[in-house]
A and B are shown apart, each in its own frame.
Chain A
């Protein structure tokens, strides 16, 4: 996609195109980009051990995986799960991936926390083309302007929201940790029970007892 974009740009620099020229190619690029977005799946709740090949094999079951791009986490707290954008070959495959993963808990590189999958959105891509026809305006607001006051309030609000987000994330992490610990305990207990039973069966105690009580169990 970006190849086409550069190609267009190259043309642009050679000659001065009319406004219409540049928009039409830009529109085409943007349309192509949107199409790509539709085909892409956003996968979440990934363990840091998940690599590109893991995703490829995992989602390769649903079709052909064209591209895998991890979204790096530069802003958030350190322990939040990883996420990735997976581009599939066609829209149908992307939908299949999303529906399967949402309906059934899909494990990747570990159990039992399932991964999540959504359809990708435009803002998730960082190499996106410009939306054609968009005009951006900016201005410096004067102090005397009444809007200045409002703007300052907004700025403060934005900062507050960012802090709130961070706080919420940390709370979520704490809860996740709690659940994980809880499950680990359950798992250990279950495993203990299982290994006891296993040992008893394998070392002959159980069959012996069964014979003694005339039971038919534990006959291998």
Chain B
């Protein structure tokens, strides 16, 4: 290790003073300062390094002051990176350089740190579409180190899109983009990806600890939560932890005087570090490579970290750090720009795709059928669109029967149906799926249901059985066309858990009653054989329309309660939950599970038997 001499001072100069404060009016607030030849101002975004961490933390400077004893402090508001709140993001993929501003009431949004903990300036651009936020140009977005448009509420532990009026007591307009140009030229581009073995640490290891634990690991356990108060007034408080970094039971000792506590620290032999600087302490356990615990940030290009400590190890370490930092800086911009760009591209492309397909859909409609363009995406006119679609489909029906005639391909019955099928189906499919996509509600596909009902009344509804379950409605329509030279509308019945896997069923709506009757008669007397040896079974359908079912077995309610606590009961009914094993409800649920198992078993046996019977007959078919 290199033995450095006493460390030089990192250049520092105060900027414009903002005022005075404190009990004795001896604390000076500032708006700006220059540290290590970089200009910082209030509400700038800065990097803060922590020992042992490869990635720096990013924060916004909220308050800058100098105490009577000449110690310099900053209060910072944290940004969270997606990694830290991955629990709350879920599966959402965020760009690498997206950050979340801390907001809300609670532990972990702000901290007071020594000014020397600052590792550098950072270019964070707010891309929120909030009206108060001056919108950044594309160039600015690309040049930015990080982007944020959402906040993470530390109290509610939730990601919020809406930005409040005040965060941490500061009006939001200061936290958004600055009006006017943001000078990014002076920002030393610290590549956060490079491995820079920990420089600085924010004083509050525990704060970081709680953050890590709360947001990275399990949801915040109260045992590990550190109780410390938000520092509003300047106090020389140092919170240090004597526990392990990753353990969940960390004790926090809040002290008002720094020096004695340092002396108490068992881990730092002979290290009377700059108490004024309020350094973070870590026990031996925490040390990853046996590094000393008093480290401060240094992002200086030339200098070594400025500390008042006289520990040799620390100096050496500083030099080590400084070299690495240099290396990192030299390598310049390895920002996650490519990934961000890619992400932006993807988003743009996706939205463009949607637009394109939307346009295509509409134009197809006007092409495919004789009807006018269908208003598809206006939810307000849903009814109108429904009727439009039914009209559309009816017209299509009639047009379909005319269409095959000019088309010469559709002459042969037997082989090679695929191209024709593909020609006819998509239009049908498309229009049909159009109808069906519209109504994804409790009473689905009302047009189909209505049509079915009217068809049933007019006796044009036929039920086909013994189809291949994997057929689609359009294929069946084609089959009907080829078999009977009739066009029709078909809906394959969706298979449920109870339905037979051997035989698929479909509802067919013919044009006229006579046609339907003829078809059924023909299917009965004759035999329409499909591939795989399936003779189609047809019958006049008698569907049951799902009305207001009131009888559902299995949901019990206590009648007496209903009269007294109606509202509660209603609420109780609507919550879905997993039953707990120690309740009566659980035992009853087990009864139901048992019954279900029995039913399943019976059904399985039946299916087996049916399959055997069918197979026996299939085998005897000569040509399949």
Cα of A76 to Cα of B184 in the assembled complex, Å: 69
Contact call B418/A135, Cβ cutoff below 8 A: yes
**Could you say which interface size class chain A belongs to?**
35 or more
Chain B nearest CB, measured from A204 CB (Å): 21
Contact call B470/A158, Cβ cutoff below 8 A: no
Let me know if A71 is at the binding interface, CB within 8 A.
Answer: yes
Contact call B452/A74, Cβ cutoff below 8 A: yes
Known: A3-B358, A111-B588. A74 touches B545 (CB 8 A): yes
Q: Which of A49, A75, A161 contacts B610 (CB 8 A)?
A: A161
Known: A68-B440, A122-B470, A172-B599. A109 touches B574 (CB 8 A): yes
Chain B nearest CB, measured from A165 CB (Å): 6
Contact call B595/A176, Cβ cutoff below 8 A: yes
Q: Which of A42, A122, A127 contacts B497 (CB 8 A)?
A: A42
Let me know if A13 is at the binding interface, CB within 8 A.
Answer: yes
Of the listed residues A2, A6, A9, A116, the one surrounded by the most CB atoms of chain B closer than 10 A to its CB is A6
Interface string of B27-61 (1 = CB under 8 A from A): 00000000000000000000000000000000000
Stretch among B291-299, B510-518, B548-556 lining the A interface: B548-556
Contact call B494/A124, Cβ cutoff below 8 A: yes
Contact call A93/B91, Cβ cutoff below 8 A: yes
Interface string of B465-497 (1 = CB under 8 A from A): 110011111110011001100000001111111
Contact call A151/B433, Cβ cutoff below 8 A: no
Chain B nearest CB, measured from A44 CB (Å): 5
Contact call A131/B497, Cβ cutoff below 8 A: no
Contact call A70/B418, Cβ cutoff below 8 A: no
Contact call A47/B555, Cβ cutoff below 8 A: yes
Instruction: State the total of A-B contacts with C-beta under 8 angstroms.
Output: 351
Contact call B584/A190, Cβ cutoff below 8 A: yes
Let me know if A78 is at the binding interface, CB within 8 A.
Answer: yes
Contact call B533/A130, Cβ cutoff below 8 A: no
A residues in contact with B421, CB < 8 Å: 130, 136
Contact call B360/A7, Cβ cutoff below 8 A: yes
Interface string of A157-183 (1 = CB under 8 A from B): 111011011001101110111011001
Chain A nearest CB, measured from B466 CB (Å): 4
Q: Is the interface of B mostly helix, strand, loop or mixed?
A: mixed
Interface residues of chain B, those whose CB is within 8 Å of chain A, are 90-91, 356-358, 360-361, 363-364, 367-368, 413-419, 421-423, 425-427, 429-430, 432-434, 436-437, 440-445, 449, 452, 463, 465-466, 469-475, 478-479, 482-483, 491-500, 502-505, 507, 526-531, 533-535, 537, 543-558, 560, 573-574, 576-579, 584-586, 588-593, 595-596, 598-599, 602-603, 606, 610, 613-614, 617-618, 620-623
Given contacts A6-B360, A75-B543, 5 further A-B contacts (CB under 8 A): A4-B357, A75-B463, A79-B551, A105-B578, A107-B589
- Closest 10 pairs between A and B when the two form their complex, measured CB to CB: A113-B554, A110-B555, A9-B426, A58-B576, A105-B589, A112-B588, A2-B433, A48-B549, A151-B535, A123-B495
Interface residues of chain A, those whose CB is within 8 Å of chain B, are 2-10, 12-13, 19, 22, 26, 42, 44-45, 47-49, 51-52, 54, 57-58, 63-64, 67-83, 89-90, 92-93, 100, 104-114, 116, 118, 121-131, 133-141, 143, 145-148, 150-155, 157-159, 161-162, 164-165, 168-169, 171-173, 175-177, 179-180, 183-184, 186-188, 190-191, 195
Task: Please list 30 pairs of residues, one from A and one from B, whose beta carbons are closer than 8 Å in the complex, sorted by A's number.
Answer: A2-B429, A4-B357, A9-B364, A10-B367, A49-B573, A74-B543, A79-B549, A82-B546, A83-B496, A92-B91, A104-B579, A105-B593, A107-B589, A110-B556, A112-B556, A113-B554, A113-B555, A126-B473, A127-B432, A130-B422, A135-B415, A138-B479, A140-B527, A141-B528, A155-B537, A157-B613, A164-B606, A179-B592, A179-B595, A183-B556
